[in-house]
Amino acid sequence: MGRDVDPKQTRKALRIVRELAAKSAAPETIDPETGEVKPGEGVVDYSQWENEFLTEVDKRLEKYGSAFNDLGKGRKEDALSMLQTVKLKEIAAKARGKKRKGMTTKKPLGWKNRPPPSSRDRDE
């Protein structure tokens, strides 16, 4: 018994995954004047893990319409789990040339206004 995954979500996820994968597989060009081989326009140097991630997600989306099975990891009508969505955003940021932090914890409100700890507060 399969899940009812929104086909729009599946198409959107497939389009994004394929666009990102195509950026790493852009063909090399040869400069006609010098004969020098240059990487293609917009080529992104993904890590091996990122390439495997993109191909596996593409295969699962194509075969099942969804890239995850455990409903604890996302909503049943979504094509990608929450963590897969975060990872795709990180890969997309890398493709755009921007550095994106992974999942980080937020600092408490007012942390900049706190006085620095004095030597009396520390146990010695």
In a domain, 21, yes or no: yes
Amino acid at 44: V
- 61, 79 Cβ separation under 8 angstroms: yes
Q: Is the pLDDT of residue 86 over 90?
A: yes
pTM (predicted TM-score): 0.66
Q: What rounded mean pLDDT belongs to the chain?
A: 82
| Whether the Cβ atoms of residue 67 and residue 13 lie closer than 8 Å to each other | yes
Q: What is the C-alpha to C-alpha distance for residues 52 and 23, in angstroms, rounded to an integer?
A: 14
Write out the two tokens for 57. Answer: 């997600």
d(CA 98, CA 24): 16
110 is a domain residue: no
Task: For residue 26, tell me if it sits in a domain.
Answer: yes
> Looking at residues 1-19, what average pLDDT do you find?
87
Structural domains counted in the chain: 1
Q: Is residue 49 part of a domain?
A: yes
Residue 31 lies in a domain: yes
pLDDT for res 59: 94
pLDDT at 123 over 60: no
Name the pairing type of β-strands 29-30 and 37-38: antiparallel
